[in-house]
Amino acid sequence: MHRRITDRLVIATHNPGKLAEMRELLAPYGIEAVSAGELGLGEPEETGNDFRSNAAIKAIAAARATKLPSFADDSGIVVEALNGAPGILSARWAGPNKDFAAAMAQIERLLQERGATTPDKRRAHFVSALCVAWPDDHREEVEARVDGTLIWPPRGTAGFGYDPMFLPDGHTRTFGEMTSIEKHGLPPLGLGLSHRARAFRKLAEICLEPR
Ligand code: IMP
């Protein structure tokens, strides 16, 4: 049985961007989102082997510490020609200075080394895993992806991370050239295109009721 989220939800992130995005997504459901940062919670080590387990580690730690239902996400980009790298290490590839220009250049260098010069050899997808954990250890988990091709040079200054290099299937503009409403916004405002928007819709279907 799926369990509904009611009233309050701890957002287990210290990233202000993710928090703002979640608050926006949860607002139509009348859910008050409190951040782990505001509650002074620490950040657990992400020791999982996949997106799903890392999202669960973060959500479970926050639920146990706060005794409230807690939400966490884990995401990244999976490059097929690189055997799935950077994957769960997507943030780490940018280093302590969060240098995503360097991380994208690194991906491009590795693709060139492998002779991946045509679009069919440059396939990639973003993944978003979401987990809501309750203090009694009940969990709701969803995962979604968006498929596309990596282009070079990167295009666009919107978005973050690997957006300027990622051309979603069926589109002529990269995520870096789309507004955040186009990329993340749910219909009718946006296309609900991103991995996070798609995963959130799945979660809403099983755990949320519009108010
Ligand atoms: P985490 O989910 O905070 O562990 O980090 C995910 C990392 O994946 C981010 O730092 C970005 O590098 C990358 N990433 C995840 N989602 C996106 C996206 O929508 N656009 C661009 N990069 C993303």
Centre of ligand 1 to C-alpha 75, Å, is: 5
Query: What does the alpha-carbon distance between residue 71 and residue 204 come to, in Å, rounded to a whole number?
Result: 12
Instruction: Give per-residue pLDDT as tens, 122-155.
Output: 999 999 999 999 999 999 999 999 999 999 999 9
Most ligand 1 atoms within 8 A of CB, residue of 47, 77, 173 to mutate: 77
Q: Exposed, middle or buried: residue 69 (CB in 10 Å: 0-12, 13-18, 19+)?
A: buried
Write the CB contacts of 145 (distance below 8 Å, at least 6 apart in sequence). 78, 125, 126, 127, 128, 195, 198
pLDDT computed for residue 45 by the predictor: 93
Cα angle 87-77-20, degrees, rounded to a multiple of 5: 110
Lowest pLDDT segment from 29-38, 42-51, 60-69: 29-38
Q: What is the pLDDT of residue 192?
A: 83
Q: What confidence score (pLDDT) does residue 163 get? A: 96
Which entry of 7, 73, 74, 137 is annotated as an active-site residue?
74
- Spatial CB neighbours of 48, under 8 Å, sequence gap ≥ 6: 54, 56, 57, 74, 88
Q: Could you read off the pLDDT of 163-203 as tens digits, one per residue? A: 999 999 999 999 999 988 888 877 777 778 999 999 999 99
Q: What is the pLDDT of residue 191?
A: 74
Cα 11 to Cα 98: distance, rounded to the nearest angstrom: 22
Choice among 40-44, 56-60, 86-90 with the minimum mean pLDDT: 40-44
Tell me, in angstroms, the distance from the centre of ligand 1 to residue 196's CA: 10
All structural domains of the chain:
8-207 (3.90.950.10)
Q: Model's pTM, two decimal places?
A: 0.94
Tell me the C-alpha to C-alpha distance, in Å, between residue 20 and each of 35, 164, 186: 10, 21, 15
Measured CA distances, 27 to 86, 159, 193 (Å): 33, 22, 20
